Amino acid sequence: MQLPLTLPLQVKEGLEEVEKRLSNMGFNNFRDTKLSTASLHLIKAGGKLVRPALVLLGSYATNGINAKTIEAAVAVELIHTASLIHDDLIDKDDLRRGVVTVHKLFGEEFAVLSGDLLISKAIELSASCGEDAIKELARAAMDMCEGEARDFEAQASGSVLELNDYLEVVRLKTASLISASAAIGGLVSNAHPNDVDLLREYGRNLGMAFQIRDDYFNALGLFADKPKSTGNDLHRNRPNVISSLMLEMNLKEALEFAIRLNRSYIESAKNTVKALGVEGELLASYSEYMLIEVDSVEF
C-alpha cells in the first residue's frame, strides 16, 4: 500500500518533515550507541507512515497544520514503532519491513529497552501538544497493550477467536492508535470537539479496515506491502479475520466476507467525515487506500 500522490502539498511537506525528524532522531546527549542504533533500526527500514499521515490530515481538515502537528505526528510513529519492536519479540518474528527484527539482531534485552526508549521520546515530543493530545495518545497506547495481551493469550491457548472477539482485539491493538492519530491531528489544531469526535470515529473505522486488509493478504500468503514475519497467520495460529470467519464458513466464503467487512468499515469512515465538508472529502478519498483490491487475486 502506497500513500496517495494526491495528498495536499501541506500534508506532503509535513510527511517529509516527519521522515526527516525520524531519520535524525536523537536521545538526550547520546548518539550511535547500541541502544540508539537498535531503536532506530525499524525506523530506518521505512514504513507506510499511515499514522503520521492521519495526524497531518486531521489538522489539515480542521484548522491547519502547525508545529505541534509535526511533533505529534513524530510521536505517534515512535509509539507505533515501539509496539512493533515489542510485538515482534513476543511473537518471536524474524522479519519486519523486510529486515531482521530488533530482538534477532540486537538481542531481547535491547529490544525491550529500545521500545522503552522510543516511548520515552514520544512522551517528550508530545509534551508540547497539550494535555488532551497527551491523554489521547496514552489511552491508545494502553489499549494497544491490552490488545496485544489478548492476541497473545489466544495464541498461547491454541484457540481461534470468534469474530466479535477478534474484532475487539483489532479495535484495541490496531485501530486505537490509528483512531487517536486522526483525533490528535484535530486536537493540536484546536478543532471543535465535535470535529475531533468525527476524526476519532473516522480513524477507528479506518483502523479496522486496515487490519482486515492486512489479514486478508496474510491469509493468502500475499504480503501486499513488505513482509513482516516468516509465515502467515493461519499457519502460525495467530488471530486473523479469515480464521475467525472459517469457524462458520469455508475459505472462499471467508475471503469474500472479509472483503465486504473491509468495505463496510471504509464506507463508515467516509460517512463519518461528510460533515467536515470539502476537507471531509479529502479524508474520504484517503480511506480508499485501505480497501482490499482483489482484481489480481484468485480464490
Quickly state the pLDDT bin for 232 (edges 50, 70, 90). low
Per-residue pLDDT tens over the stretch 61-93: 999 999 999 999 999 999 999 999 999 999 888
Q: What is the pLDDT of residue 48?
A: 87
Kindly tell me if the per-residue pLDDT of 18 is higher than 80.
yes
Q: What is the pLDDT of residue 296?
A: 44
Mean pLDDT of all residues in 195-217: 96
Query: Residue ranges of the domains in the chain?
Result: 9-290
Which of the residue ranges 180-189, 213-222, 231-240 would you say has the lowest mean pLDDT?
Answer: 231-240
The phi, psi pair for 104, rounded to 5°, reads: -75, -35
Quickly state the pLDDT bin for 39 (edges 50, 70, 90). very high
Per-residue pLDDT tens over the stretch 246-298: 999 999 999 999 999 999 999 999 999 999 988 899 999 999 989 998 764 45
Q: What is the pLDDT of residue 108?
A: 94
One CATH from 1.10.8.60, 2.60.120.10, 1.10.600.10, 1.10.3080.10 for 9-290: 1.10.600.10
DSSP 257-289: HHHHHHHHHHHHHHHHGGGGTHHHHHHHHHHGG
Kindly tell me if the per-residue pLDDT of 97 is higher than 90.
no
Contacts of 201 (CB under 8 A, 6+ apart): 179, 272
Residues 94, 230: contact at Cβ < 8 Å? yes
| Cα 230 from Cα 74, distance rounded (Å) | 28
Q: What is the pLDDT of residue 46?
A: 84
